[in-house]
Structures are given as structure tokens and as C-alpha cells.
Amino acid sequence: MRVEIWSDIACPWCYVGKARFEKALAAFPHRDEVEVVHRSFELDPGRAKDDIQSVVTMLAGKYGMSEAQAEAGEENLGAQAAAEGLPYRTRGRDHGSTFDMHRLLHFARERGRQEQLLDLLYRANFAEERSVFDDDERLVELAGAAGLDPDAARGVLADPEAYAAEVRADEREAARLGATGVPFFVLDRTYGVSGAQPAEVFARALSRAWGERPRLRPVEGGSGATDGRDGRDARDGGDGGEVCGPDGCAVPQR
């Protein structure tokens, strides 16, 4: 089963929601058969890379709230994070573009290090003093800590087109699936869960989606596998498609 999670590094509920989802996943009996894929979603896609503000100033300016209200919001989020055992600096965090971090996360996915890098990016953004914004060497350092080759990460960051198409494709896909906010969880493209729901909601979603895993249906005239899980040889089904397999290329008798 595949769970896709759309999120942004700058999204506090994504940071909290990931921990809640993982609590449910850790208790899920079929957890070893669940593949988790993190997908890109920018809350502030128009922001230039060098346009950095403090979170509180950004919130106050964008939503017309007082800085005290913005700080209270951060305190509230910090308490929610703490309840999941997550560190959260409620004062002094920055806000900026996350586009390059998303590009790096796609690179990390390709190297099997996406989960590690995302955790480190969240931790760096929400709990550590040094800003993650407009600081390629900071991201290179985090990539290295996630097990990626630092030079390769530096190369990705230096090339603005590297993995940019994948970030944008994820964002188009989110819109198509009806997500306007994050975190947004999609299980086998069948069930959707929006928001940092309690772990029990994720547990229910996992069970339900597991019980209804889609089975491929063959198109008549085609010999598609009728059931992806019964181990049947797709070449034996249906009326004989022209396929190549480990035993050579069959030429069906018609």
C-alpha cells in the first residue's frame, strides 16, 4: 500500500501531523507493506528565495493580526508539537521559500533518503536557531546528515531546474486531488485524510484502505493481471498479449 503525504517544510501542522501519522503507522500490523512517499506543496509558492521574514512579522503583516496574536498562535502550535514530543522554537523562527528544499527532497527520494532528510529539515526549521532559508550550505549540511553526498546535493541546489519539474508536478497533483491545505494524506489514491488528525483517524484510514486495496482489473482483449496479489502469471491470463518475459518473447497464436 502506498501513502502519499503532501506537506511543506514551513507548515507546523505538517510537522505535527507526520508524528501523529507515524504513531498510527508504527502500530499498524501491515506497516512493512506500506510505502510512504512525501510530496511537495508550497504554502507560499510566490516567495523569492532571498525574501526572508520572521514568522511573527510575516503572520502579522499577511493576516492583519497583532504581533502578540501571532506569537500566541506560535505558542499554541508549540504546545501541540510538544504533545507529540517534538521540539518547537516559538520565537525567532524565519519564514521563506521552501522550493529548493522540495527539490532536494525529490533528489533524496531518488537516493532512498527522503524520510531522513524531511525529518532533519523539519527539525532544523522548527527547532534550531540557524535559519534554513536562502542558505545553500545549511541545506548541504542537512543533506549530508541525511546520508546524501554533499557535493551532489550542492549540485542540485546550484541548478535551479534540477527536480523543479517534480515539485511542480506534485503541486498540480495536489490541486487535482482537491487539496488546498497541508498536510494532506492519500492512501492508495483511494482515501484522503486532510490535516494533522489524531493518530486514531490515521489508524482507521490505514485499516480501511488496506481492506480495500485496489485490484487491477484486466481490460478484455488484454491479458492484464486480474489480481495483483495472487501471484498469477500475467502472461497466462486473458487471451494472450504479446509480451517478453524472463523466458523470451512470446508470439501468441491468433
Minimum separation from the CB atom of position 43 to its own copies (A): 6
Q: Write out the binding residues for its own copies, residues 217-246 only, by CB under 8 A.
A: 217-235, 237-238, 240-246
Minimum separation from the CB atom of position 105 to its own copies (A): 12
Residue 170: which of 101, 122, 247 has the closest Cα? 101
Q: Write out the binding residues for its own copies, residues 43-72 only, by CB under 8 A.
A: 43-44, 59, 62-63
Minimum separation from the CB atom of position 153 to its own copies (A): 13
Q: Does 248 bind its own copies (CB under 8 A)?
A: yes
Minimum separation from the CB atom of position 61 to its own copies (A): 12
Q: Which range binds its own copies by CB under 8 A, 92-100, 115-123, 139-147, 177-185?
A: 177-185
- C-beta pairs of 153-161 under 8 Å, 24+ apart in sequence: 153/104, 153/107, 156/103, 156/104, 156/107, 157/100, 157/103, 157/104
Q: Does 181 bind its own copies (CB under 8 A)?
A: yes
**Angle of the 136-145 helix axis to the 150-158 helix axis, nearest 10:** 140
**Cell 487471451 found at:** 239
Q: Does 93 bind its own copies (CB under 8 A)?
A: no
92 close to 101: Cβ distance less than 8 angstroms: no
Q: Write out the binding residues for its own copies, residues 113-152 only, by CB under 8 A.
A: none
Burial class (CB in 10 A: 0-12, 13-18, 19+), 48: exposed
Minimum separation from the CB atom of position 136 to its own copies (A): 18
Shorter beta-carbon distance to its own copies: residue 50 or 161: 161
Q: Which of 80, 97, 98, 125 binds its own copies (CB under 8 A)?
A: 80
Please, which residues have CB within 8 angstroms of residue 180's CB and are 6 or more apart in sequence? Answer: none
Q: Does 163 bind its own copies (CB under 8 A)?
A: yes
d(CA 67, CA 44): 20
Q: Does 253 bind its own copies (CB under 8 A)?
A: no
Q: Write out the binding residues for its own copies, residues 10-29 only, by CB under 8 A.
A: 10-14, 16-17
Site size for its own copies (CB under 8 A): 89
Please, which residues have CB within 8 angstroms of residue 218's CB and are 6 or more apart in sequence? Answer: 224, 225, 226, 237, 238
Q: Does 199 bind its own copies (CB under 8 A)?
A: no
Q: Does 98 bind its own copies (CB under 8 A)?
A: no
Q: Does 78 bind its own copies (CB under 8 A)?
A: no
Please, which residues have CB within 8 angstroms of residue 223's CB and are 6 or more apart in sequence? Answer: 234, 235, 236, 237, 238, 239, 240, 241, 243
Minimum separation from the CB atom of position 94 to its own copies (A): 16
- 45 preceded by a cis bond (ω within 30 of 0): no
